[in-house]
Amino acid sequence: MPAKRLLPMLPSPRRGRMLQSVRQALLSTVDGDVIELAAGDGKSLPYYPYDRLSSLTLVDKKLGKQIHSHDFGAIPVTLLSQAPDPLPFDKCSFDHACLFFTLSAIPEPYRTLAELKRILRPGGRVLFLDYTRPYGPSGLMFDSYTLMRRVVSRGAVNPSRNAVNMLEVAGFRINSICQCGGHYIYGEAEKV
């Protein structure tokens, strides 16, 4: 496969700005008690409306330095360095859950979604941004990219997982779905 055909899937400043805009739009709607799974290096931290949050919980096996040094203001923040399941919270503890490139990166997505369903309050929302396999010929290129990512991550990352289908199978209602950049999908689901 020619190198220039793989380049659209590699990170670029333009793609980074697009994903920042998506995170910012999704997070502009959150309030109350919020949990973000696979928070990683804290790319979403600048976009949280801290004045509308009651609490923020960030979960990742390896929380990045930016998270530990970020100024969260006066809201209570919980940092958990652990896998996303099981989660040490009571039932119905959160209003929103944020999953940014989470379902494609965790080993047991259905188990994690069951945990989310347990800890979200009735009507709680899941905001998601993840990979999606494009249709047509570019889907074949994406399959090569997926294989490369799975080899590099030793099988942990699978960009070809269908996030929307997983959310529906786990019992969430999809309220909105958008596709951007050819192989990213984002939207909102709700606990029913």
For residue 90, the domain's CATH number is: 3.40.50.150
Query: What is the helix (H) or strand (E) element at residue 122, kind and residue range?
Result: strand 120-131
- Joined tokens for residue 67: 């998270």
pLDDT (mean) for 152-180: 84
Tell me the C-alpha distance between 161 and 108, whole Å.
12
| Cβ–Cβ < 8 Å for 116, 97 | yes
- DSSP 3-state of 174: strand
Q: Which residue type occupies 105?
A: A
- Pick from 3-17, 84-98, 125-139 the range whose average pLDDT is largest: 84-98
Give residue 28's domain range. Answer: 3-191
- The tally of domains found in the chain comes to 1
Average pLDDT, the chain: 86
Picking from 39-43, 44-48, 97-101, 160-164, which range would have the lowest pLDDT averaged per residue?
A: 160-164
- pLDDT band at residue 8 using 50, 70 and 90 as cut-offs: very low
> What pLDDT was estimated at residue 28?
97
Tell me the C-alpha distance between 44 and 60, whole Å.
13
> What pLDDT was estimated at residue 9?
46
Q: What is this structure's pTM?
A: 0.85
pLDDT (mean) for 114-124: 98
DSSP assigned state of 151: H
> What pLDDT was estimated at residue 4?
40
| Nearest in space to 98 (alpha carbons), one of 170, 153, 39 | 39
